[in-house]
Amino acid sequence: MKEGKTTMHDFSKKGIFIFLLLPILLMGQKTSDITHSFFLAGPQFTGIIDDAGEELWDSGKPGARDGYILENGNLLICWADEVLEFNTKKEVIFSFQRAEKSMELGTAVRLQNGNTMITESGTRPRIIEVDVHGNVVKSVPLLPETDNVHMQTRMARKLENGNYLVPHLLAFAVKEYDNTGKVICSFQTDLEDLGGRAGENWPFTAIRLKNGNTVITLTHGNKVVEMDPEGKVVWKVDNTDLKGDPLADPCGAQRLPNGNTVIASYGAKEGIKLLELDRNKNMVWTYSGHNVHHFQILTTNGKPLLGKPLK
């Protein structure tokens, strides 16, 4: 496989056998017959939720920002201060700590070559790639256009072409960088038809689709958009499309193999915290438990996802 299109975004049969043994139960928050188990990174809980909406696995440390189940069943999780990989026995087999307390880590992605991509926010914002021993083997400078460490960047991802897709909240832009730190292109989220800068459409998660489009969650703006390669909005959802205003600071997102989009409503105080929409913006599944910053859908109706769900 090409570097950047990492298998950790999928759940292999070996890695999810435990989920296949779970009974397929109806969730109290569902709006259809769909059920999901998923990894959840959130302020109250970081771990795995089963098809019934119950806690299946607890990392023991809430507040994670990013994370995935790897192909071998291990969990790679990023907090602001460290990145840890747990094996199935809950033993830590990889760790990386931030160098300074003033820094924030925001992304952890296992690459095909075995290295781990991590974002560092701070006085020298950058993407780093570290080896299995935690040694930095690559460094790519970022241009977030702000000194506000917490608001510099969020869910960065490495693309098939070796570039990096990086949302910058206060720059109102998702920037694609090459491996030297040069900005190749930029997707602006302060477009007039999205409400301009007054709309506070801070980009949080950016997902490059196979067709070349990019799905972007716009936290504070309470929107999710899909843009074509030229930056034109070709699909958008906000609370005017949905009953009950369920979008509150949308953060994480995932486009499923069936074309549906799952969105984390991180700012929701009560009610829906995770929702799945079809292309026509019908809400077909919801979760109303813990607050969700980032997530990874693992199974649908007890079966592992087919294909490669992008994150």
252 contacts 264 by C-beta, under 8 angstroms: yes
pLDDT of residue 177: 98
Determine the Cα–Cα distance for residues 214 and 228; give it in Å rounded to an integer. Answer: 6
Give the tens place of pLDDT for each residue, 147-164: 999 999 999 999 999 999
pLDDT band at residue 87 under the 50/70/90 scheme:
very high
Query: Residue 212: CB partners within 8 Å, gap ≥ 6?
Result: 228, 229
Of 24-38, 72-86, 96-110, 185-199, the one with minimum mean pLDDT is 24-38
Give the tens place of pLDDT for each residue, 95-113: 999 999 999 999 999 999 9
pLDDT > 60? residue 307: no
- The CATH code for residues 7-304 is 2.130.10.10
pLDDT of residue 308: 35
pTM of the model: 0.87
Query: What is the chain's alpha carbon radius of gyration, rounded to the nearest angstrom?
Result: 18
Q: What is the mean pLDDT of residues 107-124?
A: 96
pLDDT > 90? residue 309: no
- Within its chain, how far is the Cα of 147 from the centroid? 23
Determine the residue type at 163: N
Closest C-alpha to 110, from 195, 3, 222: 3
Which alpha helices (H) appear in the chain, and where do they start and end? 13-20
pLDDT > 90? residue 141: yes
Determine the Cα–Cα distance for residues 93 and 294; give it in Å rounded to an integer. Answer: 22
Closest C-alpha to 118, from 151, 78, 148: 78
Determine the Cα–Cα distance for residues 218 and 200; give it in Å rounded to an integer. Answer: 8
Give the tens place of pLDDT for each residue, 13-63: 444 433 433 333 333 344 569 999 999 999 999 999 999 999 999 999 999
Give the tens place of pLDDT for each residue, 243-260: 999 999 999 999 999 999
Query: Residue 285: CB partners within 8 Å, gap ≥ 6?
Result: 27, 30, 31, 32, 34, 35, 36, 262, 275, 276
pLDDT of residue 284: 97
C-alpha dihedral over 264, 3, 95, 69, to 10 degrees? 40
81 contacts 98 by C-beta, under 8 angstroms: yes
In the chain, domain spans: 7-304
Determine the residue type at 146: T
